[in-house]
């Protein structure tokens, strides 16, 4: 019998950073395609703008730091950052919004802290929050799914809408938000929050066309597609199971308790799990290896905190979804979580015991 001596870390699967980032991006493709089919070509246009901007920002920053440009471009971290931000914003947001956001994510949140591995916050989510605070109107201009749109957009219309905020036929974004029933539409989470704040019951709110299905028109399929991609990442051992399970489990538990306590003013647990960016957050955002917890117990606490904060923000906060804020708040708590969940070094005494 022979033993191979090697230095740590002792990874069972030998994958480079570039390979891991690329696998995550590929796993997100089913969700991106479903999102594009349901919400239009704007999804793909935003994605293209984000990736080009991310590469340009990464290259410019490395040149200013007088470091090699190609290595950070080849690790695909900038590509993944741009991808995650692009699919999180409204598909027909103005072109400059995704450019500003991606530049902020790569240059300020990532490179300003020293580059990949040194950033404290998830770059895509930090940029999303910055855009949401700075440009709230543009960040909430979601069009209804194609099946509920009064005027469908082809590729040329999508390009016109992103770059001019008008379709080629002359319709503005606000006009395009009007559904087939003649009522201006928002996302299911936003609509539900507005209705409950206005004093409507859950039953009354759910009568609107945007709530077709378990989690709103289109959003169930988007979340199922990201769930499928996330399960592939789990199968390939690209991500661990603890964070996604903790995020979804925590959100399910708290939403179930609130639903059982007051069913007519709280959406069902299934609605919470399959609406908004829930599955995207659980499998593709919260699992970021740089800004997430690094211990096994810590990952469970970290994920549970994100799920709990998503529930709290959706129910009591000022924003309908709350995924980005939940992730950033959990990022801030990571040093404390890691400190109290780090495993005891063999041979050292545990605090407060004589062992």
For residue 38, give both structure tokens: 């349901």
**From the CB of residue 105, how many other CB atoms can be counted at a distance below 10 Å?**
31
Where do the structural domains in the chain lie, given as residue ranges? 17-185, 187-337
pLDDT at res. 320:
82
Q: Which residues of 319-344 are buried (b: 16+ CB within 10 A; e: fewer)?
A: bbbbbbbbbbbbbebbeebbeebeee
* Residue 209 reports pLDDT greater than 80: no
pLDDT at res. 71:
87
For residues 205-233, give the mean pLDDT: 87
For residues 184-204, give the mean pLDDT: 79
* Residue 180 reports pLDDT greater than 70: no
CA 84 to chain centre: 6
Return the minimum-mean-pLDDT range out of 40-44, 57-61, 169-173, 266-270. 169-173
| Helices 219-235, 29-39: inter-axial angle, 10-degree rounding | 170
Tracing tokens 């082809």 back to the chain, one arrives at: 154
Select from 44, 46, 53, 43 the least CA-distant residue to 78. Answer: 53
Tracing tokens 């709290």 back to the chain, one arrives at: 312
Please tell me which of 22-36, 57-71, 141-155, 162-176 the model is most confident about, judged by mean pLDDT: 22-36
CB 17 within 8 A of CB 38: no
User: Which DSSP string do the residues of 210-260 spell out, in sequence order?
Assistant: GG-SSSSTTHHHHHHHHHHHHHHHHHTTSS-SHHHHHHHHHHHHHHHHHHH
Tracing tokens 């938000």 back to the chain, one arrives at: 177
Tracing tokens 């293209």 back to the chain, one arrives at: 48
Q: For all residues of the chain together, what is the average pLDDT?
A: 87
Structure pTM?
Answer: 0.89
Which residue(s) pair with 149 in the sheet?
179
For residues 324-336, give the mean pLDDT: 95
* Residue 218 reports pLDDT greater than 90: no
Question: What's the full length of the chain, in residues?
Answer: 355
Give residue 7's pLDDT band: very low, low, confident or very high (50, 70, 90).
very low
pLDDT at res. 195:
81
Angstrom distance (rounded) from CA 315 to CA 64: 44
pLDDT at res. 329:
96
CB 260 within 8 A of CB 203: no
């Amino acid at each position: 019998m022979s033993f191979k001596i090697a230095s740590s870390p002792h990874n069972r699967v030998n994958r480079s950073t570039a390979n891991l980032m690329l696998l995550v991006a590929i796993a997100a493709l089913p969700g991106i395609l479903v999102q594009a089919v349901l919400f239009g070509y704007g999804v793909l246009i935003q994605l293209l703008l984000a990736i080009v901007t991310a590469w340009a920002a990464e290259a410019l920053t490395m040149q200013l730091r007088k470091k090699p440009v190609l290595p950070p471009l080849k690790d695909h971290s900038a590509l993944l950052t741009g991808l995650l931000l692009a699919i999180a914003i409204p598909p027909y947001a103005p072109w400059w919004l995704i450019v500003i956001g991606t530049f902020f994510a790569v240059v300020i949140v990532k490179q300003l802290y020293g580059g990949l591995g040194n950033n404290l916050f998830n770059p895509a989510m930090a940029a999303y929050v910055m855009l949401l605070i700075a440009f709230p109107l543009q960040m909430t201009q979601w069009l209804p799914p194609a099946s509920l749109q009064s005027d469908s957009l082809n590729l040329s219309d999508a390009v016109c809408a992103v770059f001019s905020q008008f379709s080629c036929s002359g319709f503005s974004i606000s006009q395009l938000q009007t559904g087939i029933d003649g009522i201006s539409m928002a996302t299911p989470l936003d609509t539900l929050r507005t209705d409950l704040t206005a004093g409507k019951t859950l039953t009354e709110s759910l009568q609107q066309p945007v709530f077709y299905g378990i989690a709103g028109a289109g959003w169930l399929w988007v979340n199922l597609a990201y769930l499928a991609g996330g399960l592939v990442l789990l199968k390939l051992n690209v991500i661990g199971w603890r964070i996604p399970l903790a995020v979804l489990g925590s959100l399910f538990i708290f939403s179930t308790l609130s639903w059982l306590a007051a069913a007519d003013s709280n959406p069902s647990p299934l609605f919470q799990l399959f609406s908004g960016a829930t599955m995207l957050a659980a499998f593709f955002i919260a699992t970021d290896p740089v800004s997430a917890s690094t211990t096994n117990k810590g990952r469970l606490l970290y994920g549970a905190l994100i799920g709990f904060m998503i529930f709290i923000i959706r129910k009591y906060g000022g924003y309908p979804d709350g995924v980005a804020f939940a992730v950033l708040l959990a990022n801030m708590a990571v040093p404390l979580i890691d400190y109290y969940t780090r495993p005891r070094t063999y041979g050292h005494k545990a605090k407060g015991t004589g062992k």
